[in-house]
Amino acid sequence: MMRNTNTKLAVIVALLLTLSGCTAINPGVNDFTPSAARSPGERAVDREKQGGPPTLDDLFARIAEQVPGFGGMFIDKDGNLAVYMVHLQPNAAAAVQNAIARVFGQDERFQRPIVLLPGKYDFLQLKRWHDRLMPEALGLDGVVSTDIDDAHNRLRIGVETLAVQREIELQLDKVGIPREAVVIEQTEPVRYESSLQDFHRPLVGGLQINFGNYVCTLGFLGVRQGVQGFVTNSHCTNTQGGVEGTVYHQPVASGTTNRVGLEIADPTYFSGSPCPRNRRCRYSDSAFVQVPHPNGPSVTVGQGSLVLTALGSLAWNGTDVYRIVGEADPLVGETVRKVGRTTGTTEGIVEQTCVNFNVLGTRITQLCQADGSYNSNSGDSGSPVLRVTNSPQANDVVLVGIHWGSGGVFSPIGTNNIQRATELGPVNTCADGFSC
């Protein structure tokens, strides 16, 4: 978790600085000598000459060069600085403290009580082994990570399955590392964490889309009058009501590279009965977008697929999806979910159906809408609203509508709303093998 948070922070800071032009990339310095015969500490200096900062392992190696027998250190659960020493000599703590001050300066993290632990391996030895083993081990399929485990005075190798253990042991033999110096453990493979706001293909419901200076959410894929496309909100077009050929990108515009669609249906708002006086009305906040854009790259689509994330999460592995196997208008009391680019997957109860909503700051009235208690925020406009049925398979859902307004307001999917003849008309939204 900490690694994740620190990594994100570092990426954000780096991004801010890079975007702003605040950083200058220092060209590499090429006057270093080959490092194969050098100590780990000396190689740390080489690494700095190459323009890269020394790693924590490099700095620990420098301490080990000054304090023979130093085996690594970590902060223990009581907040002490726990230091492994191969030989527990009387002056070891003072020697380590002095070496730390020389290597790290007055770093507050190390200014705490020292607890000496009996170690088996000198850090220089561990580092030499690790430097030798790492290229071989990470070259094996199924190996996730290699590390000098500071908290256990051992090397640690993470593997997806223990099936690869025998191959690792052969490598250990080959490079002369004792088996007992290495912990091999099963661990989850590391994947880049992406979100609904990132580039994804095929297109599926719930992803971020962009048009002009605006950001919304792709509702759901569908086929309308034989044309493949997707549904999003009418207010997520250049002009709400009426077709202006709004061009969409996923996740954001980048020339024509991320161009995915062209607005081709967005009925105009009408006045007159049953629309209130001085208002303009529709029965849904929906528009249909042709995919791909006629002047854009080819785009793959996940017909009948909606992003599946954990509740409250934006993170998405790019593969888990809900499968749309039917459509149904909402009923009060039903539990529904919405999946949007800002607040991810959220869940709530349908509280009202067939409610007429005036849209704040406009003369628009949306007739016969539904209202749920799920959380949402700006950018979630266009989100699919669904009901999980887990039938006939796990993660099968019924499509309920499309979200558009604060407080969980959405347009139902049925023939009184989105698929009404004067709205978008029939749209096939189901996954292959199902009809709806």
With CB under 8 A as the contact rule, the residue among 34, 294, 361, 392 that binds other proteins is 361
Closer CB to other proteins, 121 or 357, in the complex: 357
Question: CA 125 to CA 127: how far, in whole Å?
Answer: 5
Q: Cβ distance 199 to 258 under 8 Å?
A: yes
Q: How far is the CB of 54 from other proteins (least distance, A)?
A: 26
Q: Which parts of 252-311 interact with other proteins (CB under 8 A)? A: 285
**Cβ of residue 217: shortest distance to other proteins, in angstroms?**
9
Residue among 6, 377, 391, 422 that touches other proteins (CB under 8 A): 377
70 vs 83: CA distance, rounded Å: 7
Decide if 309 contacts 196 (C-beta within 8 A): yes
User: Residues 14, 16, 162, 332: which binds other proteins (CB under 8 A)?
Assistant: 16
Alpha carbon 269 to chain centroid, angstroms: 38
CB 74 within 8 Å of CB 82: yes
Q: In angstroms, what is the minimal distance from the CB of 208 to other proteins?
A: 9
Paired residues of 157 in beta bridges: 146, 184
In the bound complex, what is the minimum distance in angstroms from residue 374's beta carbon to other proteins? 12
Cα–Cα distance measured from residue 241 to residue 401, given in angstroms and rounded to the nearest whole number: 18
User: Per CB under 8 A, which of residues 309..338 are in contact with other proteins?
Assistant: none
CB of 13 to other proteins, least distance (A): 9
209: phi then psi, degrees, rounded to nearest 5: -125, 160
Of these, 198, 292, 404, 419, which contacts other proteins (CB under 8 A)?
404
Please, are residues 282 and 241 in contact by the beta-carbon 8 Å criterion?
A: yes
358 interacts with other proteins by CB under 8 A:
yes
194 or 356: whose CB is closer to other proteins? 356
> What amino acid occupies position 82?
A
Q: Name the segment binding other proteins (CB under 8 A); options: 270-278, 312-320, 377-385, 416-424.
A: 377-385
Interface with other proteins (CB under 8 A), residue from 359, 414, 415, 428: 359
Q: Are 394 and 265 in contact, with CB atoms under 8 Å apart? A: no
Angle CA 424–225–300, to nearest 5: 100
CB nearer other proteins, residue 153 or residue 240? 240
| Pick from 288, 291, 211, 217: nearest CA to 249 | 211
**Interface residues with other proteins (CB under 8 A)?**
16-17, 19-22, 213-216, 233, 235-236, 285, 340, 342-343, 357-361, 366, 376-381, 403-407, 409
